[in-house]
Amino acid sequence: MNAAPAHPIVHLELHTSDRTRAGGFYLGLFGWNTERIEAGGGAYHSVELARNFGGGIVECGTRHPLWLPYVEVERVDDATDRATRLGASVLLPPREGPAGWRSVVSSPVAGEVAFWQPKVCS
């Protein structure tokens, strides 16, 4: 059996221009129910994708729907800097939220990826 990856995907988000229809599509296809969660800037629909693995559906102005993986890293700022040195552009600079820090980068050859650094409770 292989060891867990050093930087696992911890969340998967669908970015779409029509959250309602996208949610209906995945409900009909896989039986995935969504739960509306009020967030600071608007609503977010969470979805359980697998046991102990969640995701969500976000409505935004994207032309093409895309799945955005959130990869856990030790430090969001370091991962963002490393990605830019490898040729990525920063779409969302590192920012703090209630449960941790995140950023999003885009590479012309590797697509988009979000970095996630959870807050550690002491």
Distance of CA 108 to the CA centre of its chain: 18
Bridging pattern class, strands 100-107 and 111-118: antiparallel
Domains along the chain with CATH numbers: 1-67 (3.10.180.10), 73-122 (3.10.180.10)
Q: What is the pLDDT of residues 9-35, one digit of tens each?
A: 999 999 999 999 999 999 999 999 999
Q: What pLDDT does residue 1 have?
A: 58
pLDDT at 52: 87
Query: Is 13:67 a contact under the CB 8 Å cutoff?
Result: yes
Bigger pLDDT: 56 vs 2 = 56
pLDDT in tens, 56-99: 999 988 899 999 999 999 999 999 999 999 999 999 999 998 88
Burial of 36-50, coded b for 16+ CB within 10 Å and e otherwise, reads: eeeeeeeebbbbebe
* pLDDT tens column, 35-44: 988 877 677 8
Query: What pLDDT is stored for residue 122 in this prediction?
Result: 58
How crowded is residue 114: how many other Cβ atoms within 10 Å of its Cβ?
22
Read off the pLDDT band of 120 (50, 70, 90).
confident
